[in-house]
Amino acid sequence: FIFASSIIFILIAIMKKKIYDINILFALGAKNKLIYCVFLWYSLIYITFGIIFGTSIGLLISSYFHKIIQNIEKFLNTKFLSSNIYFIDFIPIKVIYSDIFYIVLLVFSLVIVCSSYSILKIIHKNSIKSILS
């Protein structure tokens, strides 16, 4: 949800910066559907790259997590989970790929719905402004 909300805020900021472009497209005679499709593809590109990079970095970190923690412990000269204090001296990590798929699907659908809402909101606001002026 943090990833999805950050992508949503990025898309809203980009669309607010693109209001002049939307007005130019309206002035050239573009319909609302064309503007909607252009910005939906724009958000799909962001979502796709974000999901690919975020998932790959997350899987990479989770597969090498024990080595990363060991290197940090060596660098800091301390033990995070001492075996004489805790029952286990490691953090158990199990990657379940079906859960990753469901999370990616949820984030993808959430961002699509929220970006569609923000696109429609901006288009509606600009169509009202173009009718009034």
For 21-50, the pLDDT digits (tens) are 777 877 888 888 888 888 888 888 888 888
Asked if 36 contacts 119 with a C-beta cutoff of 8 angstroms, the reply is yes
User: Using 50, 70 and 90 to split pLDDT, how confident is the model at 129?
Assistant: low
Q: Which two tokens stand for residue 89?
A: 């001296």
pTM: 0.68
Q: How far apart are CA 24 and CA 126, in angstroms?
A: 11
Among 113, 112, 126, CA closest to 16: 126
